[in-house]
Structure 1
Amino acid sequence: MKHFLSALLLPIIIVVALFAIACGVAKANDIPSAARQHRGDLTRIARASFGLDAPVPAFAAQLHQESGWNPGAVSTVGAKGMAQFMPATAQWWCALNKLSATDCQPTNSVWAMRALVGYDYWLMQRVAGESEFDLYWATLRSYNGGLGHWQNEAAKVRPALNHAAIDAACGRASRAKLHCPENLGYPDRILNRLQRRYAAWGRTVEPT
């Protein structure tokens, strides 16, 4: 009987294993081929600011969302490069970091990765959250829609600093309500969906 059950279950186990392998391959194939050539640089850049345990998948997902890893990307409003910095933001960032005009290169892939990770780090020092997930959520909302807007929304609900409470204040402070769907959808897509594609690249940021 035991041998009969083993023989019966073996094909099922093989099918499940093959399905799991296929899913893993599909997930890996969801990563743009352009992303793989930047993995090493992004890992080093992220660790330089966030330490050896840096959540590289979160930054990879953000680059994926911003430009699909295209260093030559230009948006309809003029944002440039993999990090999609507006010209004024790029100039401000370069001045803040004492970079010369020749070193201010939004369409350079390494510059863009350094700028994205560095700007995230700068924003993270100026937002707050009850958990690491809340903190990254606030950082991403600020990257996408402006730090001042997030701070004004957070002021509406303090002392609560979880992202759900602050998100609920979107459109009730300085941000026009019509911009809320895009701004709230930005961290959701990065942290809850795209980040998982890059899970093999390091630690992910998860809700607690």
Structure 2
Amino acid sequence: MTRKVITVLRTLALIVIVAALLHECAIAAPPSAAVSVPAASARYRIALEREVAANFGVAAPTARVAAQIHQESIWRPAAKSAYAIGLSQFTVPTAEWLPTVCPSVGPPDPWDADWSIRAIACYDAWIYKRVRAATECDRWAFVLSAYNGGIGWIPRDRALAVADGADPMLWWGHVEHYSTRAKHHMKENRSYPRRILWLLEPAYIRAGWPGAAVCT
């Protein structure tokens, strides 16, 4: 083998190693996109702190739920999507059902910002009590996935994970990869907890909202 060939092979090997390292760094690195906390959020902060504390107690994840509202509507009470409305983007059927498990929220009114704040705090807590996971980070990923797509998907997705040898108690790298949802719903549902927990919650904590990042 000539010296020139050896040099080329070494160069190619170095390129492969560098590419692999860059890929690993990209996976491990937190999202770099800057997030601005909307000024409108200040109008609802006291109400959100009160409702999250009422539902979760002393270690209330206020910044986490604030990040969730940011993801849902960017703090716009009049926000409307294809299926959901209001600050916390409830569908009409879910809004009508919620008082049966969260009577304190009052009659359904997702257009009302105060109702939406009571509703998202109570609904998150209701889901949280019904899911278990290996870590709090994984548990909250399950909670947010259920809020976005319905809690009924959690046991189905876990069953698919188990059938393929994955751990049903881990969201990241395990259950998150399994579902029979339509592709566009799958993409939205899986990006939902990732964006809230890894990008938005840290931004709200940096802005001074109460709470501690659950995924680090």
TM-score range, shorter chain: 0.7 to 0.9
- Counterpart secondary structure, 2:146: helix
1:80 is matched with 85
Q: 1:110 deviation in Å?
A: 1.3
Question: Counterparts in 2 of 1:64-103, with a 5 A limit?
Answer: 64-77=70-83, 79-98=84-103, 103=107
2:128 is matched with 124
Contact map agreement 1:123 1:147 (CA 8 A) in 2: yes
Q: 1:176 deviation in Å?
A: 2.9
**Structure 1 letter corresponding to 2:63:** P
Which blocks of at least 5 consecutive residues in structure 1 are unaligned?
1-26
Q: Give the structure-1-normalised TM-score.
A: 0.78
**Structure 1 letter corresponding to 2:210:** G
What's the CA shift string for 1:139-168, capped at 9, x where partnerless? 000111111112211123355411121112
> Is 1:169 matched with 2:178?
yes
**Structure 1 letter corresponding to 2:191:** G
Percent identical pairs in the alignment equals 35
> Is 1:181 matched with 2:190?
no
The aligned length equals: 176
Contact map agreement 1:170 1:177 (CA 8 A) in 2: no
Contact map agreement 1:63 1:83 (CA 8 A) in 2: yes
- Counterpart secondary structure, 1:147: coil
Greater helix proportion = 1
**Which of 197, 204, 209 is residue 201 of structure 1 equivalent to?**
209
2:60 is matched with 54
Contact map agreement 2:41 2:75 (CA 8 A) in 1: yes
Contact map agreement 2:102 2:122 (CA 8 A) in 1: no
Which blocks of at least 5 consecutive residues in structure 2 are unaligned?
1-33
Query: 2:211 & 2:96 partners in 1: Cα distance?
Result: 32
What's the CA shift string for 1:154-191, capped at 9, x where partnerless? 123355411121112233xxx23442111100001111
Contact map agreement 1:127 1:151 (CA 8 A) in 2: no
CA RMSD of aligned residues (A): 2.0
Query: 1:178 & 1:45 partners in 2: Cα distance?
Result: 32
**Structure 1 letter corresponding to 2:175:** I
Q: 1:90 deviation in Å?
A: 0.5
Contact map agreement 1:132 1:205 (CA 8 A) in 2: no
* Pair 1:99–1:49, CA change in 2 (3 A): closer
Contact map agreement 2:198 2:215 (CA 8 A) in 1: no
Q: Give the structure-2-normalised TM-score.
A: 0.75
Q: 1:44 deviation in Å?
A: 0.9
Query: 2:148 & 2:112 partners in 1: Cα distance?
Result: 20
1:115 is matched with 119
- Counterpart secondary structure, 2:99: helix
